Amino acid sequence: MKIEKMSFEQSMEKLEEIVKELENENISLEESMEKFEMGIKLSSNCLKKLNEAEGKIEKLTRTKDGKLIADELDLEKEK
């Protein structure tokens, strides 16, 4: 699976795996480099996912003709 396609959870899981693998004494230098590179990619993917969401608060309503519409929510108006 490509790292960019991975969810935050999947990336985190893989990242923890990599930490464990790197902690293994018997791993070769080449492998260590590979794992390290992958780890860096995974953690930046995690960061990306953390910043991906839009940051919106909306209110969902169904119009008379049955369409669903999401508008910005103003809590003051609702009271």
- State in angstroms the smallest separation of the CB of 52 from other proteins: 7
- State in angstroms the smallest separation of the CB of 45 from other proteins: 10
Q: Are 45 and 6 in contact (CB under 8 A)?
A: yes
Mind giving me the DSSP string for 1-54? Answer: --GGG--HHHHHHHHHHHHHHHH-TT--HHHHHHHHHHHHHHHHHHHHHHHHS-
Which one of 1, 2, 51, 65 is in contact with other proteins (CB under 8 A)?
51
- State in angstroms the smallest separation of the CB of 20 from other proteins: 10
Which one of 2, 4, 5, 62 is in contact with other proteins (CB under 8 A)?
62
Site for other proteins in 11-30 (CB under 8 A): 12, 15-16, 18-19, 22-23, 27, 29
Distance, in Å, from the CA atom of 5 to the CA atom of 15, rounded to the nearest integer, reads 15
